[in-house]
Amino acid sequence: MPRRMKAEAAVRGQRSAVSAAKTIHSSQLVIQISLYFILQSMKVTATVIPDVKIITPDVFGDMRGYFMETHNQAAMKAAGIDVCFCQDNESCSGKGVLRGLHFQRPPYEQAKLVRVVRGAVWDVAVDLRKESPTFSHYVAVLLSGENKQQLFIPRGFAHGFLVLEDETIFSYKCDNFYAPHADAGIRWDDPQVNVAWPKQDVPFILSEKDRLLPFLSDAKFN
């Protein structure tokens, strides 16, 4: 090949390489920008048990009301919460109602993403992972229609909540379907866990099923 043709081929190759590099850089930039805006849709904060996380969504309000994303799979994954939810549940309860502390036995454990649509609850997650350094410890947070925060509870935890206001609507996502034969729980007043439930001017209202739940020392996890 003549020297001139070789030179021209080399120049074309360099231009192709530069063009490819620019394309890759542009693609990476688009991904970075997309990830930035995804992460801006919510703030994720670790609790005293790091695997349990408080999620604070970005709320846009004006004279019409407000708008927010209540769940974004990409944002959750980017924040290190790689969970695929398959079932949504909702309850409405009066002040003083206490639900819990519930969990499902293996292989039907559930991770949950819980929030309050209206009203307020004292939400509790108890670590039941036998090998965990925080076994029997718990996280408690105030969730309300006003603060719009959510709590992510991974598999291996018992969950429950005390309703603080009448007509409270509680909503949550699960990453595993309800399995009645694996349904289990521990008592709300277990002395080992020793949850500090808020005092109210009304008595606690529990279902008969929750009243008969075993203490942690007697609970069956398998």
Q: Which two tokens stand for residue 125?
A: 């997650």
Those residues with Cβ within 8 angstroms of residue 47's Cβ, 6 or more apart along the chain or in another chain: 53, 54, 139, 141
Phi-psi region of 169 (alpha: psi -120 to 50; beta: other; left: phi over 0): beta
CB atoms within 10 A of CB 6: 10
Whether residue 172 lies in the annotated active site: yes
Q: 126 and 138 in contact (C-beta within 8 Å)?
A: yes
Looking at 25, 71, 159, 172, which residue is catalytic?
A: 172
Angle, vertex CA 119, rays to CA 116 and CA 122, nearest 5: 65
Give the pairing of strands 157-163 and 98-104.
antiparallel
Question: How many alpha carbons lie under 13 Å from residue 218 in its C-beta half-sphere?
Answer: 8
End-to-end CA distance of the chain: 76
Looking at 66, 71, 102, 137, which residue is catalytic?
A: 102
Which residues are catalytic, by number?
Answer: 102, 172
